[in-house]
């Protein structure tokens, strides 16, 4: 009887200690990420809900990091967001594709690319002067616009030798193609076609981002507002890492579509290799800006649009050559007009 009593006491003590540690971790998280929930509103329901979401994420992070994985997870500003809120960070809508993208070396004018372009052991545009700083789409499913704009900014800069920052908001407001729906998703190649048709992309300073769809305010006749025009664009052959490397070397960053699953939101470091994202529909637009090898694992350097406080300064390393999360299914490049 005495042994049973002691066991019950120990269980209670452990439970109290666990709750105390969880509360301390929650408070530390709120302080670090400037989360302020008013505990006096609705009887503290918002606070309790957010805390539970955080603790559920905490359990998943600890379980994952205790195993033998090629990547690590950690808390970030998204750790207390609900699934519905996280879905607002996605937004690719795949349009009907009439034909499969062909190999670059099979296209007119590119037959000698494989011989002419030397594929380096690694390539990383993250610190290139033509790559604008990582942006934040916020709670708007406009990733498609960001994945269209970053490669265009880079291409224009290569032509003029001057950095340029272009407007995603113009696409959110003005691109009314059937697949492009402002904060409700779209597709990067369709966005490039739109920019060709309307005369170009406005400079961000003259058409700033608001993270919501507004009335179109683009003036195609105002040349001073145009930051870049699209000369051409095309897809790279699907599921061909070598072709992607050739395109990255020749044209710069590539727009791609990927499949985001739960672990992606908490990515912290290492080479991402979650099998849960394979074989599913794409739902997020990002940009591949390079490749490399870490601990004998080939990876792509992928630029996200959730700010610099996510991942590795806004980037993620994704396993290369295995079409991880469909990253190698829809790669595309754009060429800016001179």
Q: Which residues are catalytic?
A: 143, 284, 304
Angle (CA) 320-326-332 rounded to 5° is: 85
State the maximum Cα–Cα separation within the chain, in Å, rounded to a whole number. 88
How far is it, in rounded angstroms, from Cα 58 to Cα 286? 26
How far is it, in rounded angstroms, from Cα 231 to Cα 22? 55
Nearest of 56, 72, 30, 26 to residue 312 by alpha carbon: 72
How far is it, in rounded angstroms, from Cα 118 to Cα 120? 6
The burial of 264, by beta-carbon neighbours within 10 Å (0-12 exposed, 13-18 middle, 19 or more buried), is given as: buried
For the record, the structure tokens of 260 come out as 């985001």
Using the CB atoms, write b or e for 142-153: b if 16+ within 10 Å. Answer: bbbbbbbbbbbb
How far is it, in rounded angstroms, from Cα 129 to Cα 152? 14
Kindly state the helix (H) or strand (E) to which residue 147 belongs, with its residue range. Answer: helix 143-160
């Amino acid at each position: 009887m005495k042994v049973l009593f002691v066991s019950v006491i120990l269980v209670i003590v452990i439970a109290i200690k666990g709750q105390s540690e969880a509360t301390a971790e929650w408070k530390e998280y709120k302080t670090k990420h400037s989360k302020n929930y008013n505990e006096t509103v609705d009887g503290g329901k918002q606070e309790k809900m957010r805390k539970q979401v955080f603790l559920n994420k905490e359990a998943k992070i600890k379980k994952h990091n205790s195993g033998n994985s090629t990547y690590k997870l950690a808390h970030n500003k998204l750790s207390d967001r609900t699934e519905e809120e996280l879905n607002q960070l996605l937004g690719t809508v795949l349009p009907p594709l009439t034909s499969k993208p062909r190999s670059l070396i099979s296209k007119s004018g590119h037959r000698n690319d494989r011989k002419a372009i030397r594929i380096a052991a690694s390539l990383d545009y993250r610190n290139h002067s033509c790559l604008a700083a990582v942006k934040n789409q916020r709670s708007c499913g406009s990733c498609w616009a960001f994945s269209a704009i970053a490669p265009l900014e880079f291409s224009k800069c290569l032509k003029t030798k001057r950095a340029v920052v272009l407007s995603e908001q113009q696409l959110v407001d003005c691109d009314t193609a059937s697949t492009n729906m402002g904060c409700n998703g779209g597709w990067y190649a369709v966005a490039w076609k739109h920019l060709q048709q309307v005369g170009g992309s406005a400079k961000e300073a003259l058409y700033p981002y608001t993270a919501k769809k507004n009335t179109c305010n683009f003036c195609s006749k105002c040349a001073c507002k145009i930051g870049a025009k699209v000369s051409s664009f095309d897809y790279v052959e699907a599921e061909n890492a070598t072709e992607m490397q050739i395109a990255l070397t020749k044209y710069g960053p590539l727009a791609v579509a990927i499949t985001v699953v739960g672990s992606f939101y908490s990515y912290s470091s290492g080479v991402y290799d979650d099998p849960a994202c394979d074989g599913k529909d794409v739902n997020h637009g990002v940009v591949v800006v390079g490749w490399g090898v870490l601990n004998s694992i080939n990876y792509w350097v992928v630029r996200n649009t959730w700010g610099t406080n996510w991942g590795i300064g806004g980037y993620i390393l994704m396993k290369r050559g295995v079409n991880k999360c469909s990253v190698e299914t829809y790669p595309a490049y754009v060429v800016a007009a001179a």
